[in-house]
């Protein structure tokens, strides 16, 4: 497929010659052939002109969940990928949150095959332990060879510290990335929201920040002893940021992420008992939000993620106590981050992170594969439930004003709008 993007403003702070410059971009057979101030449209070439068109390297999300296999009513892989493409994402890391969970090499092959020829690249995580039960290590090396980019029990914390130690030591030989979800379940107890003034007023059981921070401190001590590569997903507390900052100063091989909704919302939004705000980790205080935003700006937090978690209506439209955790986030990711950080920082955040997973670093230049996101950073809109293409509509951002909307992507020699 031959494509000519007309008058596109390139956002790529790593390329000073092109950054924020308006250019025509010619793409042939999936590669960038020419970038110039003016290119005449060649024969057999589709010309694309869009209002206030901006382009960047394709966006990357390090934490998405779909339903397939087992929860197809929430989101199939095909519809999840369509949602991601419409939202501007060319590359996704898929959480092992299906049923059965992917804990063998054949499971990883199934997930990769299900995403083939869909335009968006899907990189599955395998479970760290058999059946995600936290009792014995799964076949990590075989899953790595089958295409797993890391090992994670999908928001199930590793309660056995020795198991984490062995996992880090074992995976070091083949540079496997071990996830450890930051929650001490004994401290968290039966809590469902952040422990504090709001939980007390609402009569909801609270999860203290200590439950996250104790687990992070434990994991970092184990990492320092055992070596290996550790990723701590979706942190939510101010002290969590500080603990990871201190570990990085020591030179430990640790990375972390934060969910976009934990940057945007604090626990005061819970007053209406809207179950779309019931997420894990829970929404914390305004002080925590500010510390997380600062952690992102300072580079202590490595990635932001939509933490896209579709939940069917039967599990959300119930009493708050009984509702499942999770919010969708792919479709609101750009518009919410752009409001918070501005254009250049937002694109930096949405395009970083591939290296941690051993994935190819994309470059915006002639001769490179075309993995490009097309977007308008100035369009403001109210995010409406009926406009969501995700099968599940459990978004915390419904009814919120966002700034910036993706047109779609060009990836794997396909145009997906």
341-364 residue pLDDT tens: 999 999 999 999 999 999 998 899
Q: What percentage of the chain has pLDDT greater than the value 70?
A: 100
Average pLDDT value over all residues in the chain: 97
Mark whether 84 and 222 lie in a shared domain: yes
- Kindly tell me if the per-residue pLDDT of 1 is higher than 90: no
- Kindly tell me if the per-residue pLDDT of 44 is higher than 90: yes
Final residue before a domain boundary, out of 325, 357, 389: 357
- Kindly tell me if the per-residue pLDDT of 417 is higher than 90: no
- Kindly tell me if the per-residue pLDDT of 367 is higher than 90: yes
pLDDT in tens, 96-114: 999 999 999 999 999 999 9
CATH number for the domain spanning 86: value is 3.20.20.140
Mark whether 305 and 380 lie in a shared domain: no
Q: What is the pLDDT of residue 108?
A: 98
- Kindly tell me if the per-residue pLDDT of 392 is higher than 90: yes
Mark whether 74 and 100 lie in a shared domain: yes
- Kindly tell me if the per-residue pLDDT of 188 is higher than 90: yes
For residue 40, the enclosing domain spans: 2-55+366-416
Mark whether 34 and 103 lie in a shared domain: no
Mark whether 81 and 127 lie in a shared domain: yes
Q: What number is the average pLDDT over the span 17-46?
A: 96
Mark whether 285 and 146 lie in a shared domain: yes
The alpha carbon dihedral of 180, 182, 184, 189 has a sign of negative
Q: What is the pLDDT of residue 106?
A: 97
Final residue before a domain boundary, out of 337, 357, 377: 357
Mark whether 380 and 231 lie in a shared domain: no
Q: What number is the average pLDDT over the span 65-76?
A: 96
Domain tally, the chain: 2
Mark whether 302 and 262 lie in a shared domain: yes
Mark whether 150 and 251 lie in a shared domain: yes
Q: What is the pLDDT of residue 262?
A: 98
Mark whether 373 and 249 lie in a shared domain: no
Q: What is the pLDDT of residue 364?
A: 93
Final residue before a domain boundary, out of 309, 334, 357: 357
Mark whether 41 and 189 lie in a shared domain: no
CATH number for the domain spanning 389: value is 2.30.40.10
Q: What is the pLDDT of residue 342?
A: 97
Q: What is the pLDDT of residue 361?
A: 87
Mark whether 265 and 379 lie in a shared domain: no
Residues that are catalytic? 307
């Amino acid at each position: 497929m031959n494509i000519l993007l007309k008058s596109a403003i390139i956002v790529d702070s790593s390329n000073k010659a092109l950054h924020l410059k308006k250019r025509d971009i010619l793409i042939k057979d999936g590669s960038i052939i020419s970038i110039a101030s003016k290119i005449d449209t060649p024969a057999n070439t589709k010309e694309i002109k869009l209002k206030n068109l901006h382009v960047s390297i394709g966006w990357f999300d390090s934490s998405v969940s779909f339903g397939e296999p087992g929860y197809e009513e929430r989101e199939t892989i095909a519809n999840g990928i369509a949602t991601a493409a419409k939202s501007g994402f060319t590359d996704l890391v898929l959480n092992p949150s299906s049923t059965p969970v992917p804990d063998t090499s054949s499971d990883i092959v199934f997930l990769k095959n299900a995403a083939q020829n869909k335009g968006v690249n899907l990189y599955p995580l395998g479970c760290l332990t058999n059946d995600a039960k936290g009792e014995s290590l799964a076949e990590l090396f075989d899953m790595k060879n089958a295409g797993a980019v890391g090992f994670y029990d999908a928001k199930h914390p590793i309660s056995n510290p020795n198991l984490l130690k062995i996992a880090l030591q074992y995976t070091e030989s083949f540079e496997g990335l071990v996830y450890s979800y930051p929650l001490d379940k004994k401290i968290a107890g039966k809590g469902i929201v952040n422990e504090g003034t709001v939980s007390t007023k609402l009569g909801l059981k609270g999860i203290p920040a200590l439950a996250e921070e104790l687990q992070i401190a434990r994991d970092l001590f184990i990492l320092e002893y055992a070596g290996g590569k550790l990723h701590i997903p979706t942190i939510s507390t101010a002290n969590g940021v500080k603990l990871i900052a201190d570990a990085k100063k020591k030179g430990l091989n640790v990375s972390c992420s934060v969910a976009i909704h934990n940057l945007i919302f604090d626990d005061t939004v819970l007053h209406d008992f809207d179950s779309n705000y019931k997420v894990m980790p829970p929404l914390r205080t305004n002080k925590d939000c500010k510390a997380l935003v600062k952690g992102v700006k300072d580079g202590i937090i490595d990635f932001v993620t939509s933490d896209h978690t579709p939940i069917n209506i039967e599990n959300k439209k119930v009493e708050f106590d009984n509702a499942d955790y999770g919010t969708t986030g792919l479709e609101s990711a750009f518009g919410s981050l752009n409001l918070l950080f501005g254009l250049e920082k937002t694109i930096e955040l949405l395009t970083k992170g591939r290296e941690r997973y051993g994935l190819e670093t994309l470059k915006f230049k002639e001769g490179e594969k075309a993995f490009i996101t097309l977007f308008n950073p100035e369009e403001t809109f109210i995010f409406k439930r009926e406009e969501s293409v995700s099968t599940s509509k459990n978004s915390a951002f419904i009814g919120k004003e966002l700034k910036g909307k993706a047109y779609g992507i060009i990836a794997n020699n396909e145009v997906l709008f």
